[in-house]
Chains A and B, each alone.
Chain A
């Protein structure tokens, strides 16, 4: 649905994108993850036809974003990072304006549907300047959805919202997957993990990793770690020493009264740990694997 090939963008001397390539399949929610200034907004602006690329190509639903910009613009719904609202218009008026520009048939009905969808039906008469940040975000989203686009491009849609609104919005975006192809940028890792089917990590204008959140974890081959806790008082250093001697264990660290055992990738050390503890006459309280978070993957790739 979205296909980006070797996209390059230069602003004067500064190169914002270095041959960026990725794909999003139909109905997929693609997370575009990267620190601030990584090139997320630039990529999205090229995809939406706001600015041309310096090199490379990008197509949306088979239309080139530069040569066939009008066809692309008809297919996409776009929510830029700064929500583009006219403060002096009412919510209803703003959506009517957007719907008219989009040539939406049966406008009144569609506006009602979209307002229901984003939960703004009661505030349709309010002036945009009087509504809260979270509501503005939802009005912006309603604008992007008004023509039921095949592709939805959302630039950091959860920024500046309170935690409650953030989780609502994530759930909402999740619910839109399947019907729309969604490309969604964020610099928050848990968000990408919760919402997206696939994640593309970008840093300094380059794609550094791509895949489903769990695939990325496997690809990284970070050693697996096990958290161990034993009941009562015991000689922590002695236990650590004996665990270090086990086959496959690369290191043991003490974390308060618990131990974190790091083992080589895909080496199952838990039975051996349990045995050792039992042999020393200690009562095992907790033994659980620590999963690698996307956070660690992200830091690994972007530093």
Chain B
């Protein structure tokens, strides 16, 4: 149960770290602005409310915030010399990696649950009855529930990728910057669909879309569709990243 000990330490660590609070603050401010703009737009144009909009924006923000949350996981331990202690404790490397990952994903879950406040506001303003009374509007809760599930899995994938880069470098800034670049590229793969078929062949576009992090939630979970292939995709990203991270940590013994 060593990973549980590591998990507890990592999870608690977020609540004493200023970075975690700054990220939470930034997420709430930015999402608050976009939520407000979106709501205003929908009201003036008599459109139905959409709870998945904040989730889509939250997904984009994680391209920048997942690295901030994960860059210290291994880089800091290498720099402070505490990794030497961890690696000489009766603790398997895989438990160390799992504990750290779950700690970060746990904090991400807290962060994601903060956005429930916007769903609360929508629920307060609207009606869950598909045939609302006059002057009331129907709120489709299905995409919201699926959206949270998708965003939770997507977040796990971004955290796992961020942690992988943290294990690559003992410099937090380098680790954070590398994972931010990779996440941005993986996230934007979805946009490849906008390039005309005469420029890039459809096969390439489809291939890019398959590995795009965004494509696996924007057109499925956020539309209320839970497709197993998308669930598998995020789980696979997490497992591959955790495997590589474990190997990277192990490889420090051989240098």
Chain A residues proximal to chain B, CB less than 8 Å = 11, 45, 48-52, 70, 73-74, 76, 78, 80, 82-89, 97-98, 100-103, 143
A143 to chain B, nearest CB (A): 8
B232 to chain A, nearest CB (A): 33
Of the residues B2, B90, B253, contact of A74 by C-beta under 8 Å: B90
Q: Mark B8-23, 1 if CB is under 8 A from A, else 0.
A: 0100010011000000
- The residues of A that contact B204 with a CB separation of less than 8 Å are none
- The residues of A that contact B88 with a CB separation of less than 8 Å are 48-50, 73, 76, 78, 80
Q: In this assembly, does B133 line the interface, its C-beta being within 8 Å of a C-beta of chain A? A: no
Once the chains are docked, how many angstroms separate the CA of A88 from the CA of B76? 12
| Contacting pair B253 A52 (CB below 8 A) | yes
- The residues of A that contact B90 with a CB separation of less than 8 Å are 70, 73-74, 101-103
- The residues of A that contact B85 with a CB separation of less than 8 Å are 78, 80, 84, 143
- The residues of B that contact A101 with a CB separation of less than 8 Å are 2, 5-6, 89-91
A181 to chain B, nearest CB (A): 17
B77 to chain A, nearest CB (A): 9
Q: A97-B9, A100-B5, A101-B2 are in contact. Are A86 and B82 (CB under 8 A)?
A: yes
| B interface bracket (residues with beta carbon within 8 Å of A) | 20 to 34
- The residues of A that contact B13 with a CB separation of less than 8 Å are 86, 88
Q: In this assembly, does B203 line the interface, its C-beta being within 8 Å of a C-beta of chain A? A: no
Once the chains are docked, how many angstroms separate the CA of A70 from the CA of B90? 5
Q: In this assembly, does B254 line the interface, its C-beta being within 8 Å of a C-beta of chain A? A: yes
Q: A51-B253, A73-B88 are in contact. Are A84 and B81 (CB under 8 A)?
A: yes
- The residues of A that contact B80 with a CB separation of less than 8 Å are 82, 84-87
Once the chains are docked, how many angstroms separate the CA of A249 from the CA of B246? 68
- The residues of B that contact A51 with a CB separation of less than 8 Å are 253-255
- The residues of B that contact A48 with a CB separation of less than 8 Å are 88
A147 to chain B, nearest CB (A): 9
A71 to chain B, nearest CB (A): 9
Q: A50-B253, A51-B254, A52-B254 are in contact. Are A80 and B89 (CB under 8 A)?
A: no
Q: In this assembly, does B84 line the interface, its C-beta being within 8 Å of a C-beta of chain A? A: yes
Once the chains are docked, how many angstroms separate the CA of A51 from the CA of B84? 10
Once the chains are docked, how many angstroms separate the CA of A84 from the CA of B83? 8
Residues B93-125 near A (CB distance < 8 A): none
B5, B13, B85 interface centre (most CB from chain A within 10 Å)? B85
- The residues of A that contact B254 with a CB separation of less than 8 Å are 51-52
**8 pairs of A and B residues whose beta carbons are closest in the complex:** A84-B85, A82-B81, A84-B82, A48-B88, A73-B90, A100-B5, A74-B90, A80-B84
